[in-house]
Amino acid sequence: MILFANAKINIGLQVIAKRADGYHELNSVFYPLPIYDVIELLETTSDLPSLNIQGQYVPGDIADNLCIKAYELLRKEYVIPTVSIDLIKQIPIGAGLGGGSADAAFILKGLNELFRLELRTEELEAYATQLGADCPFFISNTAVFARGIGTDFKKISLSLDPYFMVVIMPDIHVSTAEAYHTVKPKLPEVNLEEAIRLPIQEWKFHIRNDFEEGIFERYPLLKEIKEALYQKGAIYASMSGSGSAIYGIFWEQIDLNEFVKYGRIYYPSPMTS
């Protein structure tokens, strides 16, 4: 089975409060982004599941990878065969694009289909929640207003398909721990759920990512990229999540080859499903 696990962007991210369990209360809009990791999921006769990663380097022990954890989570409750997982990693890590969470969610969906577990969407989301805050978003994979720790979703009507989008990924890795160390939780001044309904040309005046202030101070290049996107005519530009990817939304296609000096450039196409 071949799976195409897509990324996401955050449109606005408000860090409201730190909880007693160490997590943070957030408000954000999650939107699916057509940059993909490719996963091949196969049944195997081996005693243990395997994970082979190609493409971008992923640090850490394979046993701690969310793909393996997703498999182990379902194997605890269902009699399913051992699998081999081949992952072509194309979504950059430390970018705020949710690549690891997407891979885990798509493994859950793939196992459900491959072994005919007949799990409902709500059940898959419940399993995904156990893996990570962003994971359940990728089960339904549609635009949502996210609250709480990033697992409480309300679907919204939002399509960026008519616009031209670009994602700039410099050679900077921002860990989640580092990002949260730079941000001070506070009550939001703007109702994000209402602000996202404004015309897109109004977003830059009302919608912001609370991580930007601290991260931009540490990594001025990221601020430079955002400002450069606006200078090129972006309707809206922002850092995504707590990572280092900067995206810009334009009215129409534009030549951005000069941005290669900042890092890798992604030109996502509209989602096909």
Please pick, among 37, 134, 210, 226, the residue that the annotation labels catalytic: 134
Q: What angle do CA 163, 208, 140 make, to 5 degrees?
A: 60
Please pick, among 8, 89, 109, 226, the residue that the annotation labels catalytic: 8
Our answer to whether residue 89 is catalytic in this structure is no
Residue in 66, 27, 67 with CA at minimum distance from that of residue 190: 27
Contact between residue 36 and residue 72 where contact means Cβ atoms under 8 Å apart: no
Our answer to whether residue 134 is catalytic in this structure is yes
Cross-strand partners of 83: 43
* β-sheet with 246-250: strand ranges across: 236-239, 246-250, 164-169, 264-266
| List of residues 6+ apart from 230 with CB closer than 8 A | 204, 237, 248
The catalytic site residues sit at 8, 134
